[in-house]
Chains A and B, each alone.
Chain A
């Protein structure tokens, strides 16, 4: 193992040990299903917001994102550009309502909120199935990414690397549930933020500074630094639509609102979450620009794979110790996302999909966590083709199935059960069909048109249209106490 690899391995080992320590502490404090699924509804606003940031930014923000910026320029930043808006949008539209639903009805999961909103166990079950299917894909994709990174850092076989990373995150997820998840997310989020700021400073100072980097890129590839980069305007703006409005349907973020100890503290959620997101995304933009400038001025050869942008910058532009901290930050980002999805899918399997309540929800939740993790490991080890398909499927399915039925449903008393069923059914079937046809190249979408964008737009219009057509049944889809929560 080289000096670089050795230092990174040591820091990664220390990081894993810290996660295990937090998880052990949390496991001892997890005594009930409420502790396991909702961290005992006792989380403070700082921990909540930073954990939300950590779980929303997967390894993509540190590896795939800078690679996309390097390859496509400004247009790739549209994936994270709505971050200045989404935390406030989420808090204002659904955050407080979900927290109050938890008080009024004891709601524990996101599918349960959908079921309560429309007085429909069937809708709850459908939302639960959508969450489990999409989560397994998400988790498998992240296991695979973690395996690739640990393979590079530790020099071990990829299969063993996947199993090492999965074992750590599954152990604390199954043992300490959401309590372990929140506090490891907090720790991981702080590492991610610090690593991002330090790398951004190094990136902005490289190659003669940001202005000089801009001039070098403008001279060699002016389109890269146009407002849409190498994408078409519609393609870049489609990212903005899906990752902006689509945030309102991400269950791993929404679920965290149930856990807040004091609802009055929610007023600080947008400020903390937005600040944490913007700071942590500095690396996403800074490394992409710095590596592109280094390539166009001939400082380094063009990258064989865009995904190598961050590791190339770390090896060539930062001290070894900082590189080691950043690689731990990448692993942290992946683990926090995996943990969040393990928890929400275990909750769906335990509480939402079964027709009868579990006798021992805590034990069932732990078993469900293991089942989901095993399914994801099998997928990650088996076929990368299917994993990639499910990874893409995940975000789009969450957005198109939950933004209309849950987010708009909590804002509009005229929404109906039929509208929610139609939009959610269309979202599940349509997203799966379009992504599958596009992935296997049976059908090619025009450049810039994404299945997730089309399905989000179509499911929203379907929800509005069907609810309007069946508006006579709106009152029957809404209990009086839920109406009070919506109007609060």
Chain B
């Protein structure tokens, strides 16, 4: 399975998982199926479009790193928070927060911020975006449009 196919699979299955979660919610409070479906859904619908963001060419490795970070952090962070038992006031805290809240706020809420902007900067650094290159690209687009042919 190449990265683009994986991107489509994550996006479509993520949307269907969210639809399933919405349909199943409202049942027994002990039924965790809607929550698990929703966790997969939000992870897939964020990671999928990232993998789809280079139409016509294979994703660069920083893009794959970014998409996998989103998928793994969101999926594992929320599943871990869902599976852990309730905390007691005497339990050990993590950076001043109860463990499950820390997993959500500091894990899902901060870890992607350490990886994603760096990955993007690495990937875009290789693109030719100086004024001359952009000018050539614009001219090529105009020529293609005028000729009515596909690139």
Query: In the assembled complex, which residues on chain A have CB atoms less than 8 Å from the CB atom of B56?
Result: 413, 486-487
Query: C-beta contact mask, A260-279 vs B, less than 8 Å → 1, else 0?
Result: 00111011111100110010
Q: How far is the CA of A85 from the CA of B105 in the complex (A)?
A: 13
- Whether A460 touches B15, Cβ cut-off 8 Å, given contacts A84-B116, A93-B50, is yes
16 CB < 8 A contacts A-B: A77-B104, A85-B116, A87-B116, A87-B117, A88-B120, A104-B142, A218-B89, A234-B22, A234-B25, A267-B124, A271-B120, A274-B116, A446-B25, A447-B26, A464-B12, A487-B57
Residues on A with C-beta less than 8 A from B119 are 88
A25-33, A59-67, A238-246, A375-383 - the one binding chain B: A238-246
Contacts of A245 in B (CB 8 A): 45-46, 49
In the complex, the 5 A-B pairs of residues with the closest C-beta atoms, listed nearest first: A210-B96, A487-B56, A227-B81, A233-B35, A264-B129
Residues on the A chain within 8 Å of B10, using CB: none
Chain B interface residue bracket vs A: 35 or more
Give min CB distance, B103 to chain A, whole Å. 7
With both chains docked as a complex, state the minimum distance between the C-beta of A296 and any C-beta of chain B, in angstroms.
11
Specify which chain B residues have a CB less than 8 angstroms from the CB of A461 in the assembled complex.
15-16, 19
Per-residue CB contact flags for chain A residues 70-88 toward chain B (1 = under 8 Å, else 0) read 0000100100011111011
Cα(A252)–Cα(B41), bound, Å: 26
Q: Does B118 contact A (CB under 8 A)?
A: yes
Is A232 close to B, CB under 8 A?
A: yes
Q: List 19 additional contacts besides A81-B109, A453-B22, A464-B15; criterion CB under 8 Å.
A: A74-B104, A81-B104, A81-B105, A83-B113, A84-B113, A88-B119, A93-B49, A93-B50, A104-B137, A104-B141, A234-B21, A248-B49, A275-B117, A411-B49, A411-B53, A457-B15, A480-B145, A483-B150, A487-B55
Residue A22 is within 8 A (CB to CB) of chain B in the complex? no
With A and B bound together, what is the CA distance between A204 and B97 in angstroms?
Answer: 11
Q: Is A487 a contact partner of B151 (Cβ separation < 8 A)?
A: yes
Contact A226 B150 (CB under 8 A): no
A270 to B115, CA, bound (A): 11
Q: Is the CB of B129 within 8 A of A263?
A: yes
Residues of B within 8 A of A446 (CB): 25-26
Quick check: A481 and B120 within 8 Å, CB to CB? no
Residues of B21-73 at the interface with A, using a CB-CB cut-off of 8 Å, are 21-22, 25-26, 32, 34-35, 38-39, 41-42, 45-46, 49-50, 52-53, 55-57, 63, 66, 70
B88 near A218 (CB under 8 angstroms)?
yes
- Interface presence of A4 (CB below 8 A): no
B25 A232 Cβ-Cβ under 8 A: yes
A225 — which chain B residues lie within 8 A by C-beta? 87, 97-98, 100-101
Contacts of A303 in B (CB 8 A): none
Q: Are A480 and B41 in contact (CB under 8 A)?
A: no
Is A144's beta carbon under 8 Å from chain B? no
Q: Is residue A476 within 8 Å, beta carbon to beta carbon, of the partner chain?
A: no
Within 8 A of A (CB), among B99-115: 100-101, 103-105, 108-113
**A88 to B123 alpha-carbon distance, docked (Å):** 12
Distance in angstroms from A449 CB to nearest chain B CB is 6
A209 at the interface (CB under 8 A from B): yes
Judge whether B145 and A479 touch: CB under 8 Å: yes
Q: How far is the CA of A215 from the CA of B34 in the complex (A)?
A: 30
- State which residues 80-101 of B face A: CB under 8 Å: 81-82, 84, 86-89, 91, 93, 95-98, 100-101
> What separation, in Å, do the CA atoms of A488 and B91 have in the docked complex?
52
Q: How many interface residues does chain A have, given as a range?
A: 35 or more
**For residue A414, which residue of chain B has the nearest CB?**
B55
B53, A227: Cβ atoms closer than 8 Å:
no
Complex CA–CA separation, A481 to B55 (angstroms): 14
A407 to chain B, nearest CB (A): 7
Residue of A at shortest CB range from B39?
A: A237
- Are A237 and B78 in contact, with the CB atoms below 8 A? yes
Nearest Cβ in chain A — how far from B54, in angstroms?
A: 8
- Find out whether the CB atom of A227 lies under 8 angstroms from the CB atom of B66: no
Q: Give a binary string over A139-180; 1 marks a CB under 8 Å from any B CB, 0 the rest.
A: 000000000000000000000000000000000000000000
- Which residues on the A side are within 8 Å of B150 (C-beta)? 480, 483
A268 and B151 contacting across the interface, CB-CB below 8 Å: no
Chain B positions within 8 Å of A209 at CB level:
96
Q: Does B144 contact A (CB under 8 A)?
A: yes
A267 B120 Cβ-Cβ under 8 A: yes
By a CB distance below 8 angstroms, the chain A residues around B22 are 234, 449, 453-454, 457
In the assembled complex, the CB of A432 is this many whole angstroms from the nearest CB of chain B, namely: 19
| Most central of A219, A244, A454, A480 by chain B CB within 10 Å | A480
Known A-B contacts A234-B38, A241-B42, A481-B144; the reply to A77 vs B130 at CB < 8 A is: no
The verdict on A477 contacting chain B, using a C-beta distance below 8 Å, is no
- Tell me which residues across on chain A come within 8 A of B46, comparing CB atoms: 82, 85, 89, 244-245
Which chain A residues in 430-468 approach chain B with CB under 8 Å? Answer: 446-449, 453-454, 457, 460-461, 464
Q: Does A370 contact B (CB under 8 A)?
A: no
Chain A contacts for B57, CB-based, 8 A: 487
Contacting residues of chain A (83-130) with chain B, CB-CB under 8 angstroms: 83-85, 87-89, 91-93, 96, 100, 103-104
Q: Which of A88, A225, A274 has the most CB of B within 10 A?
A: A88
Given contact pairs A234-B35, A446-B25, A480 touches B53 in the complex (Cβ within 8 A): no
* Cα-based distance from A407 to B45 in the complex (angstroms): 13
Report A227 CB to chain B, min CB distance, Å: 4
